[in-house]
Homo-oligomer: A and B are copies of this chain.
Amino acid sequence: MSTSIHQVAERAGVSIATVSRAFNTPDAVHSDTRERIAQVARALRYAPNRSASTLRSRRSRTIGVVLPTLLNPVFAECFEGIAQASCEAGYAIVPYTTEYDLERERRAIAWLRERSVEGVVLTVANAANSPLLAEITRAKLPYVLLYNRHQERPCVSVDQTAAVQESVTYLHDLGHTRIAMATGSLDTSDRAQQRYDGYAQGMRALGLTPLAAAEQPFMHANTDALNALLLQAKRPTALICSNDLLAVRALRTARTMEIDVPRELSIVGFDGIALGAELTPSLTSISQPNAEIGRSGVELLLAGRTPKPRDSITLAHALRLGETVAARTSQSSA
């Protein structure tokens, strides 16, 4: 049986209250006593029982983490940041992945409440109509949104709209004018929507007409829309993808259609997953500081008072240059 505070107290010749204080409010106990307790605790390999502590103090020192999936490296990278930050703060994590499934998202709240998390960092498909977010708000549980960007919510994200807009300008500077965008499902994902907005604004700012997004409904989607886009006579010479996984798929689609990247088609991804830089050709991508997003989210959540919309943090994005983008050449024009 594992050792309890009583045995430490006895061996150290003090009451259990003093042992408890030695751990939680060290200044409240005499340094000699503290030292003695520390020694006994070490000798007995005493680890305070978290459940008892939580039960009595009503502080679980646990936060919920709800992400769509860990299979997308963006979220894996983010998760590592979250885990590291919360570990440093002595907080444990209750992870939950929704797999973009509304039913699972709905079930998350019970899972989290039951484990009495003190707060939640989460990414939802759409902040405007997320059942989970509604429940969290209703339960008055402190939370921070990651990646989602919403005026009336505390968020940690990059300015996705501006980021995509910049990349449009970048491509335009390289001579591209027929620039298209591939996204996930627009009405499911607010992020995809905001990224597309950046594209549209960027195009208009340059006096160009934005094209409709080539939407690919699901994660392992067919690439019909993209195929159609690239089959046109006057096909685009540059393609911005709303995430890196889509960009990888676009790379493959182009190869299948015998379109050379980047000579005939430039591709820009979004997310800046580490693996992108290792690919051949290496992916040009609007990179987000994923681990930092997770870390900041946790820090904001644990900062003290409940995070408010005005506490939202916008982190810096950067265009990570790779080998999938080239200046427009004569070949680019079909």
Question: A interface vs B, CB < 8 Å?
Answer: 2, 47-52, 54-55, 60, 69-71, 73, 76-77, 79-80, 83, 87, 92-97, 110-111, 113-116, 245, 248-249, 251-252, 255, 274-275, 278-280, 282
Contact = CB atoms under 8 A, between A and B. Distances in A.
A145 to B, nearest CB: 21
Query: Is chain A's interface secondary structure helix, strand, loop, or mixed overall?
Result: helix
Given A115-B50, A280-B252, A83 B71 contact: no
Contacts of A51: 50-52, 54-55, 60, 116
Nearest to A80: B70
B70 A76 contact: yes
B113 A2 contact: yes
Contacts of A83: 95-97
- Tell me how many chains of this kind the complex includes: 2
Given A50-B51, A51-B52, A92-B115, 4 more contacts: A50-B116, A71-B80, A92-B94, A275-B275
A47 B95 contact: no
A167 to B, nearest CB: 22
8 nearest CB pairs, A to B: A51-B54, A51-B51, A51-B55, A70-B76, A47-B114, A255-B280, A252-B280, A76-B76
Of residues A51, A52, A54, A83, which shows the largest number of chain B Cβ atoms within 10 Å of its Cβ?
A51
B71 A248 contact: no
A248 B279 contact: yes
A103 to B, nearest CB: 13
Contacts of A97: 80, 83
Given A248-B275, A280-B251, A110 B47 contact: yes
Nearest to A48: B114
Contacts of A278: 245, 248-249, 252
A109 to B, nearest CB: 9
Contacts of A55: 49, 51-52, 55
A274 B71 contact: yes
Contacts of A76: 70-71, 73, 76
A255 B278 CA distance: 12
Contacts of A116: 2, 49-51
A152 to B, nearest CB: 25
A2 B60 CA distance: 14
B114 A50 contact: yes
B47 A113 contact: yes
A303 to B, nearest CB: 23
Contacts of A92: 94, 111, 115
Nearest to A253: B280
A110 B90 CA distance: 12
21 contacts: A2-B113, A47-B113, A47-B114, A50-B51, A50-B114, A50-B115, A51-B55, A52-B55, A69-B80, A71-B77, A73-B73, A80-B97, A83-B95, A83-B96, A83-B97, A92-B111, A248-B275, A248-B278, A248-B279, A251-B280, A279-B279
A198 B2 CA distance: 43
